[in-house]
Each structure stands twice: as structure tokens, then as C-alpha cells.
Amino acid sequence: MSLDDGYVNADYLKKMAERARSLKELSYQHMAITPGMTLIDVGCGPGVDTPALAQLTGVNGRVIGIDSDAAMLAEADKVIAGNELSTIIEHREGSATELPLENNSVDACRAERLLQVLSPDVEQQVVSEMVRATKPGGRIVLVDTDWGSASVDFSDGELERRLLTFFAREMRPNGFAGRRLYSLCHQHQLCEIQLDTIPFVEHSYEESPLAEWLITTALQQNIINEDEANAWRGELMTKQQKRSFYSCVNLVIVSGTVPEC
Ligand SMILES: C[S@@+](CC[C@H](N)C(=O)[O-])C[C@H]1O[C@@H](n2cnc3c(N)ncnc32)[C@H](O)[C@@H]1O
């Protein structure tokens, strides 16, 4: 993914990380981190989690962030420059479908909002790779958005459904990834499966991926016409100005333990 792929760019991910900090903290709890552990963040993006993971594993631990995008990794390296724990953090180029890691070599492994940017055809392989790299007894943690659960307070319910269905189905490679995590963990025979589903509420229309990026793409693909685009933009910008814009989408955290045998 390039840095200018829709709203998934380093700046957006950093902003989103600030706003989703409590969700991230909860996902770290799912990893059951203790000092000295080796931790992996697959699809680490611009280093929005590796410094926090380093704090939790401490100076005797190790944190490896893996991403396929060299530009994201360069951003991630900038984030940790000068960090007192930078010596235990490594940002490594590699693919989630073929992790550059030995079998059973890490204590816990996470992937946040990775599966939604990949084809559903590879999600089994990604989880298999995470399980392969993690020691028996280690936690696997998956976090993703269920874009099929998104809703926006907009007066024309039919247009709202049309746009949000288009977003989930066509603008995300795997827009329904969030709702699939629970069965994915069962399919990989993980034990002690834990689930948290958290509503993510947005009050800024302009900062939402459901703003210009959505209506421009929907116009290009004849999902909506100019009048409908103007109606969406006009009503939702007005709501933002009046501080009454509301959108909501579910973020799902699922984790499980790699079986001992
Ligand atoms: C939506 S971003 C999420 C980044 C980060 N986990 C976060 O919470 O902000 C998805 C990340 O997955 C990376 N990615 C996409 N395909 C990948 C692949 N096949 N292997 C590894 N990383 C990949 C992208 O470069 C991007 O940094």
C-alpha cells in the first residue's frame, strides 16, 4: 500500500492511533505481555504500537514491527529515534503472508487493521503465519474494523445504506474483516478465545473516511449522482459545524492462545 492510498496514510494512522488509544491498550492486554517477551506487530504501519509494546516488555524484551511498505517503515523508524527503548525495537520489511520469522520464535503476536487491506483469500494464510511464528501458549491478537456495521446519521436512509455498502464492499479489500475474526480464531484452533467489540464514534465529518474520499469514488463509479453527493456533503458538513455529526463503526478485538500440542 502506498502512503497516498485513500485515507490509509501515515498521518491518518497516527491521528487515528491517538483517538483509538484505549482500544490499542485493550489489545495489548489481550496479548498477556510480561517483561522480557518477544512481541510482533504485523502490518505495523508508521510505528503507532511498537513503542508502547516496548514499554510493556521492557529493556530485556524485544519488539519487531513487520510491514510490506518501506515508506511506512521509514516513518516508524523516525518515531522511535531517540526513544530510550529504541534498541529493543526493530522495524522489518516483510509480508504478512510469509513472515520473516522462525517457527515458534515469539511470545505474542498482533495484527491491527491489517486484514481489511488484504484480500479475504489470504486471511487464513496470515493467521497461519502468525500461529507458526508464535510459541505454544502464546497469544495471537487480531484487531479489525467491521465496515459492514458502519452507520451515519443522515436524513436519506436509502442513500446512506447505498454509500456505506459501497464503502464496505468496494473500497476496502476486506471490509467485513472485523466480523470474521472470531471464526478465524476458532478455525485455527486457538484456545481461550476472548472477544471485545467496541463502537468507534466519529464527530468530525471531514476527518472521516466516509467524507470526500467516499463520495468522489462513488461519483466516479456512478453509485451516486452530483445531487446526491451535494446532499451528503452539505448535510453532513452542516452537522459537523453544529457539532452534531455522528458516525459509528464497530472495531473488533479477538485473541486466542496457540495450543500447547
Ligand atoms: C490500515 S494500516 C494499519 C497500520 C497499524 N497496524 C495501525 O494500527 O495503525 C495497514 C498496514 O498493513 C500494511 N500491509 C499491507 N499489506 C501488507 C502485507 N501483505 N504484509 C505486511 N504488511 C502489510 C500496510 O502497509 C499498512 O501499514
Strand partners, 151: 248
| Domain 10-257 class in CATH | alpha beta
Q: Which residues 6+ apart lie within 8 Å of 70 measured at CB?
A: 93
Question: Which atom from ligand 1 is nearest to the alpha carbon of 118?
Answer: 16
**C-alpha 202 to ligand 1 mean position (Å):** 22
226-231: Cβ within 8 A, 24+ apart:
228/159, 231/156, 231/159
Residues whose beta carbon lies within 6 Å of some atom of ligand 1 = 1, 8, 13, 17, 43-45, 48, 67-69, 72, 95-97, 112-114, 117-118
**C-alpha 242 to ligand 1 mean position (Å):** 35
**C-alpha 37 to ligand 1 mean position (Å):** 23
pLDDT at position 1 is: 36
pLDDT in tens, the chain (261 residues): 333 445 568 888 888 888 889 999 999 999 999 999 999 999 999 999 999 999 999 999 999 999 999 999 999 999 999 889 999 999 999 999 999 999 999 999 999 999 999 999 999 999 999 999 999 999 999 999 999 999 999 999 999 999 999 999 999 999 999 999 999 999 999 999 999 999 999 999 998 999 999 999 999 999 999 999 999 999 999 999 999 999 999 999 999 999 986
pLDDT at position 49 is: 97
pLDDT at position 9 is: 83
**C-alpha 236 to ligand 1 mean position (Å):** 29
- Model-level pTM greater than 0.85? yes
> How far is it, in rounded angstroms, from Cα 15 to Cα 61?
27
**C-alpha 96 to ligand 1 mean position (Å):** 9
Cα–Cα distances (Å) from 166 to 7, 121, 221, in that order, read: 16, 20, 10
pLDDT at position 11 is: 86
Question: Which atom from ligand 1 is nearest to the alpha carbon of 72?
Answer: 27
pLDDT at position 3 is: 32
pLDDT at position 4 is: 41
Nearest CA to ligand 1 atom 9: 13
